[in-house]
Amino acid sequence: MVAKAWGTDIAEEVGKPLPDCSRCRRPDAKSERKAWGCDAPAKRTVFVTGCSRCFGGGDDCPDCDDGLIAHDRCPTAVIESYPDTQRRAAGRAIRAYIQLDSRSVLPNAGGFEDQSPQFAQIVDVVDHERGRWERIRSDKRKRDLKRPPPSPAKPRRR
């Protein structure tokens, strides 16, 4: 969800496209649905997220490999497989984070310490994943700066 909310532009910029439901929901999109893991696990990694257990700092984390988790299903397909209550809760969590991020509005009265532990955890997870996407963008820009500029086109002779 985080990648789809904040990472889409970055993913396109760095050449790591994310699943696009508008492409996969067309009637003739059987091959796209298979490639992106819409209906069953794909044969390749569809997208990668940061680990929300160790945040990339746990060498012996049982959930990840070097702080990253590879997914073989479309994130929308995974979320749609959740029970309604979990889907609604995930949507509320993202909306609450967006309110905090864009308007500095917390879901409950008081300060950050007055919020639920679950909300604090959501903020940590989303901030970590957004930071990971920003590092991907920054690394790509640094690599691009190190590349020599393309040589100018030679003028045509007439």
Answer yes or no: is 151 within a domain: no
Q: Give Cα separations from 116 to 97, 99, 122, 126 (angstroms).
A: 13, 15, 10, 16
Answer yes or no: is 146 within a domain: no
The pLDDT assigned to 96 comes to: 93
The pLDDT assigned to 7 comes to: 65
Could you report the average pLDDT of every consecutive run of 10 residues in the chain (158 residues)?
63 76 86 92 89 81 87 88 91 90 92 93 89 87 82 69
Answer yes or no: is 157 within a domain: no
The pLDDT assigned to 158 comes to: 64
The pLDDT assigned to 66 comes to: 83
Answer yes or no: is 130 within a domain: yes
Q: Measured between alpha carbons, how far is 1 from 77 in angstroms, rounded to an integer?
A: 11
Answer yes or no: is 153 within a domain: no
Enclosing domain of residue 90 = 2-135
CA atoms within 13 A on the CB side of 120: 7
pTM for this entry = 0.72
Answer yes or no: is 144 within a domain: no
Q: Measured between alpha carbons, how far is 134 from 52 in angstroms, rounded to an integer?
A: 17
Tell me if 64 sits within 8 A of 53, measured CB to CB. Answer: yes
- Report the number of distinct structural domains present in the chain: 1
Answer yes or no: is 149 within a domain: no
The pLDDT assigned to 4 comes to: 56
Answer yes or no: is 7 within a domain: yes
